[in-house]
Amino acid sequence: MLEKEQIPPVVFISYSHDTEEHKDWVLQIATRLRSNGIDVILDRWNLKLGSDLASFMERGLSKSTRIICICSENYVNKANDGKGGAGYEKRIISSEYINDQNTNWVIPIIRNNSSGKKVPTFLSGSIYINFEDPLQYEKNYEELLRDILDEPVIPIPPIGKNPFQTVKEFSQQRFIPAYEKYVSPATFGAVTFDYSNNNGKYTIGQGELMFEINFSKASNTSIHLYNDPPSIRTISRINDCLEIAEIIDARNYDTSSRARTIQLNQLALLQNKNGFFAAIKILSIKDDTRSDENDEVQFEYYIQTNGSPNFTQIR
């Protein structure tokens, strides 16, 4: 049976025509959003010669699922002073806020704004995305796209069973089930893990970004890594980088082996069955056969959430 086609979200972009460079930047992000499944309403596309500007703004704002306000310094000043298109749109948006209490309707984006006032007064307290740093563009764009499409990197997990529901259930319930102890759902972080437990498996991420990392003992200066878990497609060892942020293209490393031995302070890459990449760096290793009290591996990790093989933007 064919899946029902989803109706794309409609997004109105509100901005001020500060400079040609600023207008082109807005056009670029609007074009990319449309290519990623967003029905963007932009004056440069939808407003024709002779059209009524006020009617265009009212119709565009009223039919939109979300509104993106490009909060340049000039836009903020115009909105606060009630001048120009920014001031007119501010009055319409403010009215909708009051009527519908739709507090996440507007997404403020900061660009070309070095002042202390990052957003107009009517958006005070709103969470915004700062696009000032071009090196963070891809990360911020992904955050914007996921928010509009309601595809969060870390989805809300299902609610589990109340362990105190009955005395009988309580007696059988373990507060930290074996599997849950060995999960870090965040997309980056650091983990300390006794690899003699849970068959050497530790899970990072969740959903389409889940990676089951499978270790086994080698020594106190190296550890074995496997691609056996069902979520893992390939693994590889990195010899030409010292930090995760130095990985330019994860596809360039050999993935032909089921197992790899990773040295202390060395990097490794994993690709899951959904095509996403994760990188890990081994920070410390303990081996209970070499005078350590227990087996333990400590590693840091980063999951590339946008599907890219490039990790350099995390710097």
Every domain of the chain and the residues it spans: 10-149, 174-314
Measured between alpha carbons, how far is 22 from 314 in angstroms, rounded to an integer? 25
Best CA proximity match to 128, nearest among 48, 69, 83: 69
- Asked if 282 contacts 260 with a C-beta cutoff of 8 angstroms, the reply is no
What pTM does this model have? 0.69
pLDDT of residue 3: 53
pLDDT score for 11: 94
Q: Which two tokens stand for residue 14?
A: 């509100």
Query: Residue 164: its pLDDT value, please?
Result: 61
- Per run of 10 residues, the mean pLDDT along the chain (length 315 residues) is 72 93 95 95 82 70 86 91 62 53 81 92 87 91 94 81 59 51 93 95 92 96 96 96 96 96 98 95 96 95 94 83
What CATH number does the domain located at 10-149 have?
3.40.50.10140
Q: Residue 315: its pLDDT value, please?
A: 64
Q: What is the pLDDT of residue 52?
A: 63
CATH class of 174-314: mainly beta
Q: Give me 161's structure tokens.
A: 């069973």
User: If residue 279 lies in a helix (H) or strand (E), which one and from where to where?
Assistant: strand 277-286
